[in-house]
Amino acid sequence: MAELSEQAEFSGQAGLSGQAGLSGQAGLSGQAGLAGPAAGSRLLDGLRAYRLIAGMWIRSTMAYRASFVMTTFGNFVSSGLDFVAILLMFSRVDALGGYPLPEIALLYGLSNAAFGLADLAIGSMDRLGRRVRDGTLDILLVRPAPVLAQVAADRFALRRLGRVIQGSLVLGWALTRLDVDWTPLKLLLMPVTVVSGCGIFCAVFVAGAAFQFWAQDASEVQNAFTYGGTTLLQYPPTVFGKELVRGVTFILPLAFVNWLPALYVLGRPYPLDLPRWTAFTPPLVAVVCCALAGAAWRVGLRSYRSTGN
């Protein structure tokens, strides 16, 4: 299903790239240049560049408003197809892996909202391989703004709000249907989970992009972890084999995106006999993942050799 949504998104804006690319360059170099290379303000610099480039892409998207509405709706529908599959499953069964529909919907909503936000923010990073191959990454290197911010905001696609909206709707529905004894702590855990989950998926996107400095044509591998990851997390851990669960807990810590906090809220047993307090670790895990991904990015960028054109 990864391929479905990703390819659909790429073909959308071919016509825009020419014009928008030019205007973006002008706006960026003009303003980011003023910020200067003040030491310690790299993060602010990056955020500022990101905001400028993303804003430019939003303006260019809004030039074709009808197209924007349609592609956002398309994004909403293609993202919802997974949930339709779950609904079809539940037309034949009452529980999957021991979980009834509202509980699966909670997992699904948290997973899709977190992934949708990450995809919206930096989902275009899987285009990096293409930029390395055709040499257009060189243009980004000579601009006075952090390369990571430029690559992350490249072709910022506001239509990806479709997935965020779809995930949030399912999450909202799940929250009204669940039979849970809500405490302030559990309520607070929900937004914290979505934000940390977004951070973990962002780290996966950045690490995947860093990997593409070496494996230029292999951008599809990333889909296995991003789109594959969010699909995996839509189902409870009881469904999957122990080795797979171990892998997504200790090697690629996707379990912290939604499984552990959701299982805490539902009062269900954790996979692999993890202690109860691990439900509150996702923000920490997200920070560590982002730091590791950032380090991988720097190594990747340093090893970059231009194709020479």
Q: Note the residues at the interface with other proteins (CB under 8 A).
A: 1-4, 7-8, 11-12, 15, 67, 70-71, 74, 77-78, 81-82, 84-85, 88-89, 91-97, 215-221, 223-225, 228, 231-232, 235, 238-241, 244
d(CA 206, CA 263): 28
Other Cβ atoms closer than 10 A to 180: 16
* 237 to 5, 116, 228, 254, 269: CA distances (angstroms): 25, 21, 14, 11, 10
- The residue among 218 and 284 lying less far from other proteins, judged by its C-beta, is 218
- The residue among 49 and 128 lying less far from other proteins, judged by its C-beta, is 128
In the complex, least distance from residue 95 CB atom to other proteins, rounded to whole angstroms: 6
In the complex, least distance from residue 71 CB atom to other proteins, rounded to whole angstroms: 7
- The residue among 46 and 80 lying less far from other proteins, judged by its C-beta, is 80
Query: Which residue is listed with tokens 């479709």?
Result: 162
Tokens of residue 78, six digits: 């293609």
In the complex, least distance from residue 134 CB atom to other proteins, rounded to whole angstroms: 14
- The residue among 185 and 218 lying less far from other proteins, judged by its C-beta, is 218
Are 211 and 218 spatial neighbours (Cβ–Cβ below 8 Å)?
A: yes
> 54 in helix, strand or coil?
helix
Are 12 and 114 spatial neighbours (Cβ–Cβ below 8 Å)?
A: no
d(CA 147, CA 140): 6
In the complex, least distance from residue 209 CB atom to other proteins, rounded to whole angstroms: 14
In the complex, least distance from residue 268 CB atom to other proteins, rounded to whole angstroms: 15
In the complex, least distance from residue 101 CB atom to other proteins, rounded to whole angstroms: 12
Other Cβ atoms closer than 10 A to 79: 25
- The residue among 183 and 303 lying less far from other proteins, judged by its C-beta, is 303
Report the C-alpha dihedral over residues 10, 112, 123, 226, rounded to 10 degrees: -100
* Residue 136 CB contacts under 8 Å (≥ 6 apart), including other chains: none
- The residue among 181 and 243 lying less far from other proteins, judged by its C-beta, is 243
